[in-house]
Amino acid sequence: MTKEMKSMPVICFGETLWDIFENQKKPGGAPMNVAVHLRQFGIASSVISKVGNDELGSGLLEFLKTKKVDVSLIQIDNEEPTGLVNVKLGPKGDAQYDIVFPSAWDFIGNPASIKHPFILVFGSLASRSETSRNTLLNLIENADLALFDVNFRAPHYTRTFIEQLLTASDIVKLNEHEIAIIGEWIGLKDASYEKLIKKVAEIFKINQIIVTLGDKGAMVFIDGIIHRHPGFKIKVADTVGSGDSFLASYLSNFIKGKPAEYCLEMACATGAYVATQNGAVPEYKISDIESILKN
């Protein structure tokens, strides 16, 4: 970690949309969620995305402005509508997603200019269309640090492109299901998480890999060492945005130069707290996260 990195803004690339629940709609999209959570941890963040020239698009921009996220790199599409995702919650608060296609964020063009240095956070969902995919590849090439938040949403990904993104990334974050899929790709079906992480890091030359394990906590591979945290026992309201808050918490502390063990514990606590709330980006204070740590 360098002093320069501590002052780097974070740019989150990808989908901005509305999550449509049974009785309400809420702002969503993993990159946007991460940007909002980063601001709650005091990290300057902006979003590169595209919304429709419609009421829903205006609503997203206003929402992000209230959260103090920079929206100057969000583009307006006069043809395609603002993105929507129909969310169905299971009995344990787990979510299933029906992602509407096409949406404005499928057609994100290259931004006019970006100030260096910057950290790029991106997922794989926005690469389902050629336009946004090409823009993403250009941004990765120019980023000072590239963090890939893998999000397998069938049928919106291919093995070939996922492996291309893995190879291009400095830090990769996956959940237990995603690393298991990659494990099958590389011939390590049913291998331990420890063996999987080390092999994925070796094959794709990744400096740091973070794996979330649901109610079993999380682990991180960094500098050849695996750190693990058992997580926290909570009463789940819904899991929407929990992984995004985990990532934002981890990254914000990593940027500040905190040890990996500290970053991991705070990330687990943040993800746990957000899972006790409704929606992807609830308001909270650091004291709320600390209450999870104490309990």
Can you tell me the distance from the alpha carbon of 177 to that of 89, in angstroms, rounded to the nearest whole number? 18
pLDDT, tens only, 102-130: 999 999 999 988 988 999 999 999 999 99
Count of domains for the chain: 1
* pLDDT of amino acid 1: 46
115: containing domain: 3-294
**pTM of structure:** 0.94
User: What CATH number has the domain bearing residue 258?
Assistant: 3.40.1190.20
* pLDDT of amino acid 93: 66
* Distant-in-sequence, close-in-space partners of 221: CB < 8 Å, separation ≥ 6: 197, 198, 201, 208, 209, 210
pLDDT, tens only, 142-198: 999 999 999 998 899 999 999 999 999 999 999 999 999 999 999 999 999 999 999
pLDDT, tens only, 240-275: 889 999 999 999 999 999 999 999 999 999 999 999
> Interhelix angle for 159-168 vs 176-185, to 10°?
110
